């Protein structure tokens, strides 16, 4: 019985939890306050397969987003619909929700790509427990 206890203690001590936070793009702001869903295309300049969330060590990260704005008043051409970046300073035990903020200060039409910006639209406390789940591991 003592050897089983020693084995379990040994396994438990090998798991290291680094301080981490979560950056998410799964929550749908549903046009709330001119915020819309966005898809992550790049993380720190490297292409990624979009995920609902990214568990990351504490630090600064640059996310590139493609907007999914479905506002009927948006009249820009498809060629104007490019990507934009947002910098997120990830803190321990915090979750950040990314979105596309539709600028409603004027009418955007044609090839005007200034109609939106990539933002963190919501931030909340979230217990992050990461080990092998950290992005980059």
pLDDT tens digits along 34-60: 999 999 999 999 999 989 999 999 999
Give this prediction's pTM: 0.81
φ/ψ of 77, rounded to 5, equals -75, 160
Q: What's the mean pLDDT when you consider all of the chain?
A: 84
CA distances to 22, 24, 40, 112 from 58, in Å: 9, 15, 19, 36
Q: What is the pLDDT of residue 101?
A: 94
Spatial CB neighbours of 86, under 8 Å, sequence gap ≥ 6: 62, 63, 65, 98, 117, 118, 119, 120
- Answer whether 86's CB lies under 8 Å from 60's CB: no
Question: CA nearest 39: which of 66, 59, 21, 5?
Answer: 66
């Amino acid at each position: 019985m003592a050897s089983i206890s020693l084995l379990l203690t040994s396994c438990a001590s090998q798991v290291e939890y680094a301080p981490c936070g979560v950056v998410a793009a799964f929550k749908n702001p549903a046009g709330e306050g001119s915020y819309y869903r966005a898809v992550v295309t790049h993380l720190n300049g490297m292409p990624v397969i979009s995920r609902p969330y990214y568990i990351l060590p504490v630090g600064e990260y640059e996310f590139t987003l493609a907007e999914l704005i479905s506002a009927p008043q948006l009249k820009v051409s498809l060629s104007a619909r490019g990507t934009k970046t947002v910098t997120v300073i990830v803190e321990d035990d915090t979750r950040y929700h990314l979105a596309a903020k539709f600028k409603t200060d004027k009418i955007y039409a044609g090839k005007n790509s200034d109609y939106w910006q990539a933002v963190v639209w919501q931030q909340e406390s979230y217990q992050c427990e990461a080990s092998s789940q950290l992005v980059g591991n």
